[in-house]
Amino acid sequence: MRARSTAETAAWALVLVAVSAGIQAWTIAPVDADMAYHVAVGRLIREHGILRSFPWTPFSWLADHYADKELLYHLLLVPLAGLPWITAAKIVGALSGAVALLALYGVLRAEGVRLAGLWALFPLVACDAFLWRFGLGRSFLLSIALGAVVLWAAARERALPLAVASALYPWTYVAWFLPLALAGLAEAARFLGAGRVRWRTFALVAGPLALGVLLHPNGWNLLRLTWIVSVEVLVRGAWGGREGLDLGLEFLPFSAEQWARWLLACVAMTLAALALSWRQRRADPTGLAFALAAAAFGLLTVRSARFNEYFVPFSVAAFALASRHLRRRWLLPAAAAATLAYTAVPLWETMQGLRRRTDLIPPPLVETLQQRIPPGAQVYTCDWGTTGLMMLALPERRFMVALDPTLFYVKDPELYRLWFAIPRRPPPEVAQVIRSRFGARFVMCLWDQPYRRFFDQLVFEPGVQTVLVDEEWNVYDLGEPERAPGPGAAPGPPAPGR
């Protein structure tokens, strides 16, 4: 019997790995430009060692206060630095996705859920918005895996996996305090069921979390970056609606139509899990803990679509755990069939969307750009999302900001406002403004209709040469800057601090 169980686990592990790898293989190029940044950081670590500063984006807060909030993910990319960047991204994306699916499978199997392997795959078909996020292959997949382990281990009082998963969090995800919240939900479920709280659980989480931060090579800056991301980016930026910050669609809330199109199945599973696990709360705190977590992430999704990546897998896991107590076995296949009927068309559209992105800077273009833009040059960019692509194409050049525009705003609000306004409302003699205020000789921007006036104005300014104009990119040589103040001043190729 034990050999059969081991074989079954091994078989499902292969299936889950194959599904994750298949989704990555289906894509032509990563559908999210941030992935290029992560690959670029992996290459920088291989070349320079663990990074202590980030001079490649000198206008960012990270330039002088570098903190690698996804260090474990970047270390996975280091041995793949010699591969084409898209290949490296797909390999690590497939691995990260497989880890998330395997963690869900491990929790459900440990809890004796029938068909645990199918339930582990179910988040991929329960919501096409989650399938899209899963296809990004980013580090939040490792956070999902660790979060599931933390919540299960806290509910079941398993000290070793709880401590290990908590210690890894500061190396994996910027919201490294999430294990404390999950432990609180597990203890809330225990209190609602048994009327008691195990304070030891919080110690088993807090101690390893502190150790993880302490051992992190950028530990102090990581604490400060977490504050910036949690308060400046999420609360004041995304939720507070701070003007002049383009944070991306993932921070916006779902509209009513999007909820109806994407999330009703997960809402139904969460509500059913809450009702069923409430009845069993005295005998089993685990199911209620996952139901509470799903509900909490669902509420956060009302404010920001980004939390969908947690809401969907936790809602499925909660429903799977609650299904152990159903007597009518036919309800489960009926619910699965209804969900698939609800998501079939959006899932197909999402799978097609995953194949639409191509390499925005193909090798012939890379060669042209490297010939015209020398190492050490400061490049003015119109946005932040494509910085990773530029770093891969033009290593050892300097760009404006990566990861998030808030990191520029925090460092110099006045200069940030100027940077944000220039491509949208270009001032007279805009080339001179860019040369003098940003110390930049080159401009490189993706074509976008709001920037048209900026591009048209640049072309006719004295001393400006057009390097490249195609369907995607506009690149200009402004000539040598008269002065190079502030963060763009240092000549020559940048070198990270040690």
Name the pairing type of β-strands 379-380 and 442-446. parallel
Note every long-range contact of 246-252, with CB atoms under 8 Å and residues 24 or more positions apart, other chains counting.
246/383, 246/384, 246/405, 247/404, 247/405, 247/406, 248/385, 249/305, 250/304, 250/305, 250/306, 251/304, 251/305, 251/306, 252/304, 252/305
Q: What is the pLDDT of residue 406?
A: 87
Cβ(43)–Cβ(391) below 8 Å: no
Cβ burial 383-420 (10 Å sphere, 16+ → b, else e): bbbbbbbbbbbbebbbbbbbbbbbbbbbbbeebbeebb
Q: What is the pLDDT of residue 393?
A: 94
Work out the pLDDT band at 311, boundaries 50, 70, 90. Answer: very high
Regarding predicted confidence, which is higher, 23 or 406?
23
User: At a CB cut-off of 8 Å and minimum separation 6, what does 353 contact?
Assistant: 31, 132
Give the C-alpha distances (Å, rounded to integers) separating 207 from 123, 163, 198, 213. Answer: 32, 8, 15, 10
Residue appearing with tokens 């899932």: 347
Work out the pLDDT band at 490, boundaries 50, 70, 90. Answer: very low
CA dist 220 and 210 (Å) reads 11
Average pLDDT over residues 459-473: 91
Regarding predicted confidence, which is higher, 332 or 83?
83
Work out the pLDDT band at 361, boundaries 50, 70, 90. Answer: confident
CA dist 310 and 297 (Å) reads 6
Regarding predicted confidence, which is higher, 18 or 281?
18
Cβ(155)–Cβ(189) below 8 Å: yes
For residue 398, the one-letter residue type is R
CA 307 to chain centre: 11
Cβ(355)–Cβ(28) below 8 Å: yes
**Is the pLDDT confidence value at 308 over 60?**
yes
Compute the C-alpha angle 263/385/417, nearest 5°.
110
Closest CA to 187 of 273, 277, 292, 319: 292
Work out the pLDDT band at 276, boundaries 50, 70, 90. Answer: very high
Whole-number mean pLDDT of the chain? 89
Work out the pLDDT band at 134, boundaries 50, 70, 90. Answer: very high
Average pLDDT over residues 14-22: 97
**Is the pLDDT confidence value at 116 over 90?**
yes
For residue 275, the one-letter residue type is A
Q: What digits encode the pLDDT tens for the residues 197-214?
A: 999 999 999 999 999 999
Average pLDDT over residues 132-139: 92
**Is the pLDDT confidence value at 497 over 50?**
no
Cβ(125)–Cβ(102) below 8 Å: no
Work out the pLDDT band at 471, boundaries 50, 70, 90. Answer: confident
Within a 10 A sphere around the Cβ of 349, how many other Cβ atoms?
11
Q: What digits encode the pLDDT tens for the residues 161-187?
A: 999 999 999 999 988 999 999 999 999
User: At a CB cut-off of 8 Å and minimum separation 6, what does 243 contact?
Assistant: none
Work out the pLDDT band at 216, boundaries 50, 70, 90. Answer: very high
φ/ψ (deg, to 5) at 228: -60, -45
Taking each continuous run of H as one helix and of E as one strand, the counts in the chain are 23, 4
Q: What digits encode the pLDDT tens for the residues 223-257?
A: 999 988 887 766 665 555 556 666 566 667 777 78
Q: What digits encode the pLDDT tens for the residues 141-155?
A: 999 999 999 999 999
Average pLDDT over residues 50-59: 96
Range of lowest pLDDT (121-135, 220-234, 391-405)? 220-234
Q: What is the pLDDT of residue 245?
A: 64
